[in-house]
Amino acid sequence: MTITSVRTDVAALARDVVKIYGRGETAVRALDGATLSIPAGRFTAVMGPSGSGKSTLMHAMAGLDTVDEGQVLIGDTDLGRLSERQRTLLRRDHVGFVFQSFNLVPTLTAAENIALPLTLAGRRADQAWIDEIVAMLGLGDRLRHRPAEMSGGQRQRVAVARALAARPRIVFADEPTGNLDSRAGEALLGFLRHAAHELGQTIVMVTHDANAAAYADQVAHFADGRVAGVTRNEEK
């Protein structure tokens, strides 16, 4: 399976997506005809209360979960037509992830954690690109440190660098500021916005925090398994 590296105006698309967990009277309709377009090279926030379906949509758009109805595309690739192995390769080669819990390997240094996706894929690192990311995130003096030797904000910045290292088509961030104090959280959001505006990276962030969503170029408001509306933010 190959995906063109040329970025189109739409990086990802969910169209009339339905996801149901369970059966019969206990069935939960987590997604109920959700439709969302993610513009390439921009920062999109998906905002909504707990249980609204926003994380379920992210998992579907990232290829982490299948859907029962509707269509999900990354670029021109229809995820519903891929085998499990093909979805795994797509995630490895074209999707980056940033999670609330950092998910760093404790025995590896920051530099090794950043390079890990490339190492696992057997790909040569673009050192100039990684150096630019490291400089942008202010990690130059932390590359030899292991996660236990870094603050929460530093660990999350390493996680962001890891997600960007392979130049993925799209990066999904699930409540990335949830374990950070306000100062570190604001810095991280600024980095994500910079990655979109200055590096051309497509970012999708799931959040319940209106202050965090304000850093995004557009905010998709989620309710009852659907996108209730999309608003665009003014330049910060």
Tens-digit pLDDT profile for residues 86-121: 999 999 889 999 988 889 999 999 999 999 989 888
Write down the mean pLDDT value for the chain. Answer: 90
DSSP-derived secondary structure letter, 25: G
Q: What is d(CA 95, CA 92) in angstroms, rounded to the nearest whole number?
A: 6
Question: pTM for the full model?
Answer: 0.88
In degrees rounded to 5, what are phi and psi of residue 146?
-90, 160
3-state secondary structure of 43: strand
pLDDT at 72 over 50: yes
pLDDT at 6 over 60: no
5 pLDDT band (50/70/90 cuts)? very low
- What is the average per-residue pLDDT within 71-89? 94
pLDDT at 85 over 70: yes
- In the chain, the percentage of residues whose pLDDT exceeds 70 is 96
Architecture of the domain defined by 41-67+82-232? 3-Layer(aba) Sandwich (3.40)
- What is the average per-residue pLDDT within 67-92? 94
pLDDT for position 235: 63
pLDDT at 236 over 90: no
- Report whether 51 contacts 31 (CB < 8 A): no
Tens-digit pLDDT profile for residues 47-61: 998 889 999 999 999
Q: Give Cβ neighbours of residue 184 (< 8 Å, ≥ 6 apart).
A: 151, 152, 153, 156, 177
